[in-house]
């Protein structure tokens, strides 16, 4: 069996997503927080934001992604970003692109935000706008990409897929390259928040495997931009197995703003998510809170949360995940297991691989 990463008791926080507000100017079909324009702005004023940044700095120096909702709806976004930059954090921002203009780009650079991510869920306005629930969303991304290029701001394209748009994965990837993305991240969605309403649209486990096999072949050829399947931990099984079969180096390129995880599911192991009310979660898609930063320090939660301890103890993982030799590099998506099975220790529900240990029982 592969070495069980995370079992040595040393957990370094490398990447943190911070939802500054749940308010949003879109209503995407898969939104993990069911955000919309009437959603609350959030509990973090400047003083609370500064305290949180100080608490984070006391335990780690992670990448911090300022997200939402739509973070550009907050007037103090860039003040918070600047505070993070001044404390030595690598700051990033996630936006839907609607509010991006020359003035926003000037503030992005002044605040020290080094990279931005945008979502693009199809290669045409018909596909993307349907997924995002708003006419003009596609045009906004195209316009934002052009403005980012003009100002020399690096950006990542995140693309989410279900049955309604999975046939356009290759086209979407090619468009991300065309508009100048530094990286393209392919998400196969986890059905949380509003995503629970499209449970019947989840990509099948058979198609899931085929899509990840395609990604492996594509990534091996891709030399211009970085590519990553996200919330698809079984890709690390495919990458390692095929690299070994083909006699190729299994090392992969990485952004300096990546999660820093050389394995599949790293929820609560090297990453976490803080929502706009201060609740701390293993990742953006995991609906069980490990604590609240208005009641405990982030250091206490990171080091002592029972939920985080569970996720770091691979011996507790059940089903075929618990008997799989790739457990240490994959781990299965714990958020997806909880969403589908109601048990975060359950086996990854969208993995078709059958470990030899399980085959012998069958």
Span 193-227, pLDDT tens digits: 665 667 788 899 899 999 999 999 999 999 999 99
What pLDDT score does 1 carry? 38
3-state secondary structure of 95: coil
Global pTM? Answer: 0.92
Report the alpha-carbon angle 230-239-182, nearest 5. 50
What pLDDT score does 97 carry? 94
Sequence-distant (6+) residues with CB within 8 A of 329 are 2, 5, 236, 237, 240, 262, 263, 264
How far out from the chain centre does Cα 345 lie? 20
Taking the alpha carbons at both ends of the chain, their separation in whole angstroms is: 20
Nearest to 254 by CA among 119, 63, 68: 63
Give CA–CA dist 196/179, Å, rounded.
31
Give CA–CA dist 294/147, Å, rounded.
37
Place of tokens 């400047």: 46
Alpha helices per DSSP H over the chain: 46-57, 77-86, 102-111, 125-132, 137-151, 169-178, 205-221, 234-245, 298-304, 306-312, 319-322, 334-341, 356-361
Residue 219: other Cβ atoms inside 10 A: 16
What pLDDT score does 28 carry? 66
Give CA–CA dist 222/154, Å, rounded.
18
Query: Residue-wise over 223-233: b if at least 16 C-beta within 10 A, else e?
Result: eebbbbbbbbb
pLDDT mean values, one per 10 residues, the chain (362 residues): 45 95 75 58 93 98 94 96 98 96 98 97 94 90 98 97 94 98 93 68 91 97 94 94 94 68 87 96 95 97 97 96 94 94 95 81 56
Give CA–CA dist 40/209, Å, rounded.
39
What pLDDT score does 6 carry? 42
């Amino acid at each position: 069996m592969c070495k069980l990463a995370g079992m040595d008791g040393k957990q370094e926080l490398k990447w943190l997503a911070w939802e500054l507000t749940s308010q949003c100017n879109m209503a995407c079909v898969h939104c993990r927080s069911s955000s919309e324009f009437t959603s609350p702005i959030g509990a973090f004023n400047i003083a609370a934001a500064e305290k949180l940044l100080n608490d984070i700095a006391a335990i780690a120096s992670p990448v911090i992604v300022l997200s939402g909702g739509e973070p550009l709806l907050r007037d103090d976004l860039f003040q918070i970003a600047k505070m993070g930059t001044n404390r030595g954090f690598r700051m990033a921002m996630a936006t839907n692109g609607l509010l991006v203009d020359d003035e926003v780009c000037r503030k992005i650079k002044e605040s020290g935000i080094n990279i931005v991510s945008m979502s693009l869920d199809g290669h045409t306005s018909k596909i993307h706008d349907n997924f995002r629930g708003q006419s003009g969303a596609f045009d906004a991304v195209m316009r934002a990409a052009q403005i980012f290029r003009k100002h020399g701001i690096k950006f990542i394209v995140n693309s989410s897929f279900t049955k309604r748009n999975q046939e356009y994965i290759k086209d979407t990837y090619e468009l991300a390259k065309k508009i100048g993305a530094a990286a393209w991240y392919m998400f196969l969605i986890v059905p949380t928040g509003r995503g629970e309403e499209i449970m019947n649209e989840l990509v099948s486990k058979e198609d899931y495997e085929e899509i990840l096999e395609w990604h492996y072949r594509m990534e091996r050829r891709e030399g211009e931009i970085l590519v990553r399947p996200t919330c698809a931990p079984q890709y690390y099984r495919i990458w390692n197995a095929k690299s070994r079969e083909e006699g190729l180096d299994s090392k992969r390129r990485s952004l300096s703003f990546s999660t820093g995880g050389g394995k599949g599911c790293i929820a609560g192991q090297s990453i976490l998510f803080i929502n706009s009310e201060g609740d701390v979660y293993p990742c953006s898609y995991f609906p069980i809170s490990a604590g609240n930063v208005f009641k405990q320090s982030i250091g206490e939660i990171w080091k002592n949360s029972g939920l985080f301890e569970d996720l770091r103890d691979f011996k507790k993982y059940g089903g075929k995940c618990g008997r799989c030799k790739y457990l240490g590099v994959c781990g299965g998506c714990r958020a997806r297991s909880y969403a589908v099975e109601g048990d975060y220790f359950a086996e990854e529900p969208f993995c078709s691989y059958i470990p030899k240990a399980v085959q012998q029982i069958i």
